[in-house]
């Protein structure tokens, strides 16, 4: 992992909620709705790449899901603008 910047990625809707339900940890997204107060962490997630700090892997994932390059570019731009990353 070559991401050494301290900047925290924004939380955003990802796991199907209308509110921000995804939180990035080391380049992968975790479902905030799965937060477990006993362990102090999320129990669901860790497999989906973060679009902010792990963009290349996120884009690859979208390509595998048969999104077009134009759709993907627009989506990334939208996220970056909306969350001012
Ligand atoms: Zn991130």
Per-residue pLDDT tens over the stretch 5-46: 567 899 999 999 999 999 999 999 999 999 999 999 999 999
Which domain, by its residues, includes 50? 22-82
- For residue 4 the two structure tokens come to 């050494």
- For residue 2 the two structure tokens come to 């070559």
Domain membership of residue 3 (yes or no) is no
Domain membership of residue 1 (yes or no) is no
Domain membership of residue 37 (yes or no) is yes
Number of domains in the chain: 1
State the distance from the centre of ligand 1 to the C-alpha of 74, rounded, in angstroms: 19
State the distance from the centre of ligand 1 to the C-alpha of 9, rounded, in angstroms: 5
Residue 29 to residue 5: CA distance in whole angstroms:
17
- Which pLDDT does position 5 carry in this prediction? 55
């Amino acid at each position: 992992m070559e991401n050494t910047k301290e900047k925290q990625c924004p939380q955003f809707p990802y796991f199907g909620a209308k509110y921000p339900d995804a939180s990035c940890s080391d380049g992968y997204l975790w479902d905030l709705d799965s937060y477990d107060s006993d362990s102090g962490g999320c129990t669901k997630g860790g497999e989906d790449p973060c679009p902010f700090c792990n963009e290349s892997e996120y884009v690859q994932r979208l390509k595998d899901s048969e999104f077009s390059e134009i759709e993907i570019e627009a989506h990334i731009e939208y996220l970056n603008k909306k969350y001012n990353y």
